[in-house]
Each structure stands twice: as structure tokens, then as C-alpha cells.
Amino acid sequence: MELYNKLSKKDRIKLIEKAGEKRFTLSFYKYELIKNLEIFRNFLFVQFNSIDVLGRIYIANEGINAQLSLAAKNIDLLKKILDEISFLKNVRLNIAIEHDNQSFLKLKIKIRDKIVADGLGNDEYDLKNNGIHVNAREFNKLLNDKNTIAIDMRNHYESEIGHFEGAYLPNVDTFRESLPIINKKYSKYKKDKKILMYCTGGIRCEKASSYLMQNGYENVFQLDGGIIEYTRQVKYEKIQNKFIGRNFVFDNRLSERISDKIISKCHQCGNKCDEHVNCNNEACHLLFIQCEKCRFRYNGCCSSDCKDIFQLPVDVQKQLRKGKKNSNKIFKKGRFKQKLFK
């Protein structure tokens, strides 16, 4: 019985191209007590692998967080599998607006301490008591209310390329950093302001809104389904779009365009750009914003030094990075020294 991915990315790409089928990219999450994690993990792998699901799934005692892709024809089979798991019956699937058959190339199901790293103790939030969930129309109405404080619960590199008009954008690298900063900044508005939160798919707001309510905030709201579901409602229900730019996503696509407006700049020359790339030097792999001109100039790398390494023979590159691990700087987009335009 196969319980782990055994195909390389190149082999998977060949299979996807040979199949020639449209694939959906989607996500879902659910906070629920899961006791037998290894058994559940292996069960999911067998079930998902049987219908050619690819993606990144995290499970923990507190629940499941899944981002995946599968052939469009298998969407009903996926729903059937999920519906047969009691706590996932009728779980909402956040289906992407833009699709890429290669958004995921492996199936990885990992056991984690938490499905969202929050840095909180169990007594600092209660997921049975969180913010009021609002749809796109309700969100827009609250956003227009002068008594509302809108907060982006994502990291700075996500909001850099796109966010809602007028929202507060915490200048943080991780979700866990944002919670105490927000609580300190808005503590004087616990009773007389409406706190409106949003994130990519809703999972971070579940904890964030619960954390604020645990700290005495009385009027807390959260965008149900996050930016992904908001975009779907805007498109199909002809609702005014209040999101500007692109929505950062955690798969090979890196983002989805929500509006035509470009609000960010190339980190190397300063020209308008909102396309994230990974540095081609695998020893660096920094994720940053790069325009086509700089991509050609630096050969897809973040610096001249990385460009020089990338031009070396592959075996030499491997030798240079042997025994070394990429650090968290990979995700500190916009904070690295190659922002030459500054």
C-alpha cells in the first residue's frame, strides 16, 4: 500500500501533460479534534491518491488545512470522500478563480502540532467563540462604515501585491507576530469599533477573531471563505470588487489576479510589477517580486552573486549547497538587500 509520494516533479508533469485534462485548484479547512493522527493521515493519503489528488495537506489535533489540485472530472469523487468523513461532510471547497494544471506536483500529507502556527496557548482563544462570518456584500457594507477597522491578517509579502482598500496591513513576516501587534494597536477600540478581519481562505481569521474576543473585543467580524470566496461571489453575483491587485496563494501559481491595478514594484528596479518568483539559485530560493526586464538581466535570480552561482554546472551548485539549509529569509519578500530601487 502506497502511503507516500514516489514520483519526481518531472515525472508528474509528464503524466499531467499526457492526461491532457483540466485540473481544479482548491482548498478547504476545518477545526476539529482529531485524535488518531497517523491513522487519519494514512487513510487520507490512500483515498486522495486513488483519485489523483496532488497538494499540501496539514493535519493536527486541532483539525485539517488542505490545498490541492485534481482533475475536474474527479471533483464529485473528492466530495464523496470528504462527505464520508463525519466532520468534513459538506465542508466548503474554496475553488480558485485561475487554474494551472501544475499548481501542485506532489501529494504531501503532513502531521503538525497546529494547522496554523499562531504562537498562542490553548487558553488564549476558544474556537467555539469567534467573529461573525460575513459574505462579500456584507463585507463591502462594513468596509464602507466609518466605524469599521479593517485588518489584513496576512503577512506583509502577501498584502504587498494586493489588499482591500483602506485596510490596516501589519508589517509582519508570520501570522503569530500579527496577533499581539493588533491587540496592542486597537485595544482602546474594544467596545466602540467594528473589527473586520480577512485572510486568504478564512483559516487565520478563525483564530484571530477568537483571540480578539478572548481579549474583550465585542464587535468582531470575519470574511467568510476569505479573499478566495469573496472573489467568487464578486464574479458570479456581480458585486462591486473592493480588492485591489493580486491575491497571493501558496502553490506554484503564487498569486491570482483579482483586479487590473498593480500596486507593488519590482524589488530590483522599482518598475511596476506584482509577479513573485523564486530565485533560480536553489541555495537561495528567495521568493521576491521581479519584472521581466530584471528576470532577463539576472537570469531569474535575486542578485548578481546568485546569478553567477546559477550559471555554474549543476553538480558544482549541488556541492556548494551540500549540508546547508535554506533559512526563513526565503519568505521575507521585500526585506532583502537587493531592493536596488530604494
Q: Which three cell numbers stand for residue 172?
A: 509582519
* Catalytic entry in 199, 205, 284, 302: 199
CA atoms within 13 A on the CB side of 155: 16
Residue 7 has φ and ψ, to the nearest 5°, of: -100, 145
Rounded Cα distance, 309 and 257, in Å: 32
Rounded Cα distance, 300 and 285, in Å: 10
In the annotation, is 291 catalytic?
no
Q: Which three cell numbers stand for residue 147?
A: 466605524
Look at residues 232, 229, 233, 242 and name the one whose alpha carbon lies nearest to residue 140.
Answer: 242
C-beta neighbour count of 186 within 10 angstroms: 16
Catalytic machinery residues: 199
